Structure 1
Amino acid sequence: MTTDISIRKEGRAGRITLTRPKALNALSYDMATAIETALDDWRTDDEVALILIDATGDKAFCAGGDIQQLYDTGRAGDFAFGRRFWADEYRLNAKIAGYPKPYIALMQGFVMGGGVGISCHGSHRVTCESTQIAMPECGIGLVPDVGGSLLLARAPGRLGEYLGTTGTRMGPDDAIHAGFADTYVPQLIWPTLTAALIETGDPAVIAAHAETPPPGLLPALTPQIDRHFSGETLRDVANALRAEDSDFARDTLKTLSRNSPLSMACAVEMIHRLRAPTADIGRALGLEYRFTYRAMEQGDFLEGIRAAIIDKDRKPIWKHGIDSLPDVAVAQMLQPLGKNALTLEEANT
């Protein structure tokens, strides 16, 4: 059993606590596997009325997936490890989204990437003063994944395209506005709330502790976001921003200029596809997997990790520029995988 996570039953609750605060509770393969095993065990356990997932430390609930191992294996030419990791992680995300019991996440500090996948698909998502939720994957040559593409597609207006391409961080009010969270409970009250959930097994106690969060930034930006991010492609977005002389347009263009054009263009396309009324978590994860399956071999992922995490020079050399990105590159990253398509059933090992 990994020491990076604590899994136990307390009262009426199945409890999962991430215990890697020094690593900002980054989600490793072993941690994801342990969470899935617990959820499978508790699904039919009558003693467990609800799931409560939280984390130690003040800085982060979970700042993302543990990408060091993905990088090391990918650099060595082993793409199978990453593909297996993503497939298994996405299966966990789907289980959380469809879990038959209340799944409550207490999200302090950074909640990013893989952290979003194990919290924001739950039935009850609780923020506090320090909550900062984001999908910053385009900055490392990935796309918003772990089902985050579906949350982005369901966000109001064109917020999804904006949040997905820029990786903008959302405080509690903005996260609730965008559909990544439900309630705001000051962190000082969390021990009381946790005790009530454990004792009663009833998620209704969350509402009794909820308060109004401090106002966020996104509602005021909505008209500009909707105006600039309504185009069909990433290039349309960039052109709309270039055509306007405003702080918002300049700042947003600067942010986009740092991220992988291929990733951002694919993110825009994915969000558009997932606005279809038939889109669900399975469709979103399947689409994300088409990209992540190819991300090391054909995308910017290894270069993105090198620049951000390994060499820390913050100077990635992306495969394409925003204006020179061929449309076919997006189509190639998102084309069906055939026999390698994501299945949400467990592999027989």
Structure 2
Amino acid sequence: MAALMETTEPPVLVEGHPGMLELVLNRPRVLNTLDLEMIRLLQQALNTARADGGCRLVLLRGAGERGFCAGGDLKALVGSVREQAWDRAARFFQEEYALDLDIHRFPKPVVALAAGITMGGGLGLAAGADLVVATEDTRLAMPETGIGFFPDVGATGWLFAKCPPGYPEFLALTGLEMEGAEGVRVGLATHLIIEAKVPEFLERLRKLAGTLPPDRGEALSRLKESLAHSGEQIIPPRPEIDAWVARHFAGKAAVQEILDSLARCREAFRLCAEVQERLQERSPTALVLTFSLLRRHQGRPLEEVLAGEARAAAFMIAHPDYLEGIRARLLDRDQQPRWQ
């Protein structure tokens, strides 16, 4: 019965409340991965919210208990690549990036509940929200270099706006996951609440939305006050790890310079060895492309970043490493990609 219900329900649920439009990614069996239909439904819903004078707030969340969104539907993309249907693949990226840009530029407050797995294109959706609420179960990452791709959805630009020095390079190149508290600390999320408090938080948000003022800034202030009453957690600083990341990743001129820096400390610090080995497991082409995009897009307007990423995506999906990475990591799962 559950499987039947999932096939008949729409992949995006649009729930109206006084003052708020709640958008629920509704493919929990596949971790709410995004396909073109979902992207178009989300865009249509945002257009509705923009035109609705009574709408004060948009909430994004995922159905199910495992995650907000694990990224793009790679099986669909692989089909396009194998068939060399480049126009179809390009259309997916173009519409996904347009949706991400719209969230970043949306004239009304957007809240993303990034509970559970929030990675790749899912983190791209959340990144444009004004408030990104994580829990202790949240897992945030841009893992694309491990499948022969690069962190897209604007990440090669907005990571610099959100994260401390060195973290844009560290997160983009290694693809390491950040748990909820760490995600807030490094700037991928804005608030942390206890998972058990999520139902209370959602109920408070639904009641508050109808009372929010039309002024965007005032509405955001009210929303932040509400989060403080929903069990928001305080995140302690970690200056030692921040200094380590900055020392080995910030301001480097090339990927090899990062690897050399890590190699010099690998005998003294286990972390250096572990991160160096992780980088050496990634697609070399994807690493070089990612680093180039980071250097090119730092401080640039998001529109320019996304245009550059669209060109890079067209190149990378045609590269052998893309299909090989997906084969090794997601299809055969032998974890032994043979990079070009």
When normalised by structure 1's length, the TM-score is 0.86
Report the counterpart of residue 38 of structure 2 in structure 1: 31
Report the counterpart of residue 307 of structure 1 in structure 2: 328
CA distance in 2, matches of 1:136, 1:153: 17
Report the counterpart of residue 243 of structure 2 in structure 1: 223
Report the counterpart of residue 343 of structure 1 in structure 2: none
CA distance in 1, matches of 2:287, 2:105: 28
Per-residue deviation at 1:210? 4.4
Alignment counterpart, residue 8 of structure 1, candidates 6, 15, 18 = 15
Q: Which amino acid aligns with 1:27?
A: L
Per-residue deviation at 1:40? 0.7
Q: How does 1:252-291 map to 2 (within 5 A)?
A: 252-276=275-299, 279-291=300-312
SS at match of 1:181: coil
Report the counterpart of residue 326 of structure 1 in structure 2: none
Could you tell me whether the CA contact under 8 Å between 1:28 and 1:65 is conserved in 2? Answer: yes
CA distance in 1, matches of 2:274, 2:320: 26
CA distance in 2, matches of 1:215, 1:66: 36
Per-residue deviation at 1:253? 1.1
SS at match of 1:304: helix
Could you tell me whether the CA contact under 8 Å between 2:156 and 2:298 is conserved in 1? Answer: no
Q: How does 1:104-253 map to 2 (within 5 A)?
A: 104-154=111-161, 155-201=163-209, 202=212, 203-204=223-224, 205-213=226-234, 215=236, 219-230=239-250, 231-244=252-265, 245=267, 246-253=269-276
Per-residue deviation at 1:2? 6.3
Per-residue deviation at 1:180? 1.4
Could you tell me whether the CA contact under 8 Å between 1:151 and 1:180 is conserved in 2? Answer: no
1:18-48 residue CA offsets vs partner (Å, 9 max, x unmatched): 1222211111111111001100111020221
Report the counterpart of residue 324 of structure 1 in structure 2: none
User: Structure 1 residues 179, 151: closer, same or farther in 2, change over 3 A?
Assistant: farther
CA distance in 2, matches of 1:305, 1:193: 37
Which sits farther off after the overlay, 174-183 or 126-135?
174-183
Per-residue deviation at 1:104? 0.5
Q: Which amino acid aligns with 1:267?
A: T
Per-residue deviation at 1:317? 1.5
Report the counterpart of residue 49 of structure 2 in structure 1: 42
Alignment RMSD, CA only?
1.8
CA distance in 2, matches of 1:206, 1:212: 10
Q: How does 1:53-68 map to 2 (within 5 A)?
A: 53-68=60-75
Stretches of structure 2 that go unaligned for 5 or more consecutive residues are 1-7, 213-222
User: Structure 1 residues 173, 28: closer, same or farther in 2, change over 3 A?
Assistant: same
CA distance in 2, matches of 1:152, 1:20: 27
CA distance in 1, matches of 2:329, 2:196: 34
Q: Which amino acid aligns with 2:247?
A: R
Q: Which amino acid aligns with 2:275?
A: T
Could you tell me whether the CA contact under 8 Å between 2:136 and 2:181 is conserved in 1? Answer: no
1:264-310 residue CA offsets vs partner (Å, 9 max, x unmatched): 1121222222323xx12212211211210111223621111111122
1:162-219 residue CA offsets vs partner (Å, 9 max, x unmatched): 1111111112222122221111121222222212222221424223324225658x64
1:40-76 residue CA offsets vs partner (Å, 9 max, x unmatched): 1110202211001111222211111111011011012
Which sits farther off after the overlay, 219-228 or 256-265?
219-228
CA distance in 2, matches of 1:40, 1:239: 49
SS at match of 1:243: helix
Structure 1 runs, 4 residues or longer, greater than 4 Å off: 213-216
SS at match of 2:51: coil
CA distance in 2, matches of 1:158, 1:199: 40
CA distance in 1, matches of 2:234, 2:120: 23
Could you tell me whether the CA contact under 8 Å between 1:153 and 1:274 is conserved in 2? Answer: no
Per-residue deviation at 1:241? 1.2
When normalised by structure 2's length, the TM-score is 0.88
Report the counterpart of residue 84 of structure 1 in structure 2: 91
Per-residue deviation at 1:122? 0.5
